[in-house]
Amino acid sequence: MASKPNYARIGDQVFRDVEKINAELFTLTYGAIVAQLLKDFEDVEEVNNQLEKMGYNIGLRLIEEFLARSNVPRCSDFKDTAEVISKVGFKMFLGINATVTNWDPKKPEFSLVLEENPLIDFVEVPEQYQSLVYSNILCGVIRGALEMVQMSVECRFVRDVLKGDDASELKVTLKAMLEEEVPVGED
Amino acid sequence: QPETTEAPAASALTTEALLATTTQDDNKSRSGLSKLDAAGYSVGYTFMERITKDRARFVEVLDIIKFICKEFWMEVFKKNIDNLRTNRKGTYVLSDNKFRWLNKLSASSSNETKQAATKYLLFPCGLIRGALANLGVAATVSGEISPSSPSCVFTIKVEQ
C-alpha cells in the first residue's frame, strides 16, 4: 500500500510558490469589509450570514485553484480530507497551520484549531457586536470548497479568540456526500 | 513584512466585496459602488500610516506622490507604477501597465471586460485617496482602464 503523502510538505511547497500579499493589507481589507457590512445591515446575525455567504462564493472558486496548484491526490476518506484542509489548504491560502482534533467517534465530524488567524490581527470587537462571528467567512470558504468536491458540510465557530477563548476552533460536520449533482452557483 | 497568500485575499475577497456591495442596492448601485471607494479609503489611510511610521516627514506633495508610486505600490501590488506624469498644477497621472487585480480578468468581449474591470478600480482609487489623506493631502482620484487591459491609469487631482 502506498504510504500517505506528506501533507505538511506539500503545504509548505505550494505556499512557497503562490503569489503573496502583504499580511497587514489583507487584514485591513477584511476589516474594512466587515465594518462595511455592519454599517449596511445593522443586524449582527445578518452580517454573520453575509460573511458566510461571501466565503461560500469564494470557496466555490477557490477549490479550483487549490486542486490545480497543490497536486494533492484524491482523499481516501473524510479524515484524509480534514488533514488536507488543515495542512495544505490553510497553509496555501492563509500561510498558517491548523490542527485537526476532536474527532467524534459516532459521526463524521472534526475540529480545526487555529492558533493564529491573520484575519483578526489588531481587531477588537466593540461590545454591542458581541454576537458577531468576525471570521465567519472561513466557515463559508470551507463549505463552498467542499461542496465542489461532492461533500455537503456544516461549518461553524465553536471557540473564538476574539470572544476571549485561547484559540479559535472551527467545527466541520459532514452532512452528506453529494452524487453527480450539477453544482449550484448561488445560494 | 509578514506575508500571507494572494489568492483569497486580493482577488477573491475584493470580488466578493464587489458583488456584495453592488447587488445589495440594485436600484441605487451608485451608492454600492461608493462603498467600495470608502472601504479602500479606510484601508489606504491606515496602511499608509503603518508603512510611513519610521520615515522622515515629506516636504513636497511630489515626494508623497513618488512614495505612492514606488514604496506604497510595491507593498500593495508588488510592483512600481510604470509611469508618472504631472502638469505641475496639482494633477498627477499614474500608469500601471500591468495592474495586478486586472491581470486575470476577462469577459466575453473586450468591451464587456472593460466595463466589468472598471469596478475593480474603485477600491484602489479609494486606497490612493486614503493614503494621501493620511499625509495631509486632500485629492480626488479617478481610475481608467486602458484599451489594452490589464493596464490602467489613475488620475490624482490635488485640491489646492
Mutate to test the interface with A, among B1, B4, B42 (most CBs of A within 10 A): B4
For residue A130, the tally of other CB atoms under 10 A from its CB is: 10
Which A positions 141-160 lie with beta carbon below 8 A of chain B?
A: 141
Q: Is residue A184 included in any domain, yes or no? A: no
* CATH code of residue A94: 3.30.1380.20
Q: Is residue A9 included in any domain, yes or no? A: no
C-alpha cell at B13: 475577497
Q: Decide: A155 and A139 in contact? Cβ < 8 Å.
A: yes
Q: Is residue A29 included in any domain, yes or no? A: no
> For residue A70, how many C-alpha atoms fall within 13 Å in the half-sphere facing its CB?
29
Q: Is residue A152 included in any domain, yes or no? A: yes
Q: Is residue A108 included in any domain, yes or no? A: yes
Which band of pLDDT confidence, cut at 50, 70 and 90, is reported for residue A181? low
Give the whole-angstrom CA distance, residue A108 versus residue A129: 32
Task: Give pLDDT tens digits for A107-149.
Answer: 899 999 998 898 998 899 999 999 999 999 999 999 999 999 9
> Which chain B residue is nearest to residue A92, measuring alpha carbons?
B5
Mutate to test the interface with B, among A16, A18, A20 (most CBs of B within 10 A): A20
Does any CB of chain B come closer than 8 Å to the CB of residue A98?
A: no
A153 is in which domain, residue-wise? 43-177
| Nearest to A154, CA basis, from A179, A166, A136 | A136
C-alpha cell at A96: 498558517
Model pLDDT, residue B115: 75
- Cβ neighbors of B158 (< 8 A, separation 6 or more) are B61, B90, B91, B92, B132, B137, B138, B139
Give the whole-angstrom CA distance, residue B137 versus residue A83: 50
Q: Is residue A123 included in any domain, yes or no? A: yes
B10 contacts A21? CB cut-off 8 A: yes
* CA trace torsion B48, A22, B24, B99 (10° rounding): 90
Angle at CA of residue A110, ends A108 and A112, nearest 5°: 155
Model pLDDT, residue A187: 54
Does any CB of chain B come closer than 8 Å to the CB of residue A5?
A: no
Burial A140-171 (b: 16+ CB within 10 A, else e): bbbbbbbbbeebebebebebbbbeeeeebbbb
> Which chain A residue is nearest to residue B8, measuring alpha carbons?
A93
pLDDT surpasses 70 at B101 = yes
Q: Is residue A129 included in any domain, yes or no? A: yes
ipTM above 0.85?
no
Q: What domain count does chain A have?
A: 1
The single-letter code of the amino acid at B134 is N
For residue B50, give the nearest of A24, A57, A92 by CB distance: A24
Model pLDDT, residue B27: 46
**What is the average pLDDT across B53-59?**
91
Q: Is residue A139 included in any domain, yes or no? A: yes
Rama region for A42: left / alpha / beta (φ>0; ψ in -120 to 50; rest): left
C-alpha cell at A161: 479568540
Task: Give pLDDT tens digits for A29-68.
Answer: 899 989 988 988 889 999 999 999 999 988 988 898 899 8
A18 contacts B3? CB cut-off 8 A: no
Task: Give pLDDT tens digits for A111-120.
Answer: 999 988 989 9
> For residue A121, how many C-alpha atoms fall within 13 Å in the half-sphere facing its CB?
15
Burial A84-98 (b: 16+ CB within 10 A, else e): bbbbbbbbbbbbebb
Task: Give pLDDT tens digits for A60-89.
Answer: 888 988 998 888 989 889 999 999 999 999
Q: What percent of chain B has pLDDT over 90?
A: 51
Task: Give pLDDT tens digits for B77-89.
Answer: 889 999 999 999 9
A33 contacts B39? CB cut-off 8 A: yes
| Nearest to B14, CA basis, from A29, A5, A82, A18 | A29
Model pLDDT, residue A17: 84
C-alpha cell at B30: 451608485
- The residues that bridge with B139 in the sheet, in sequence order, are B158
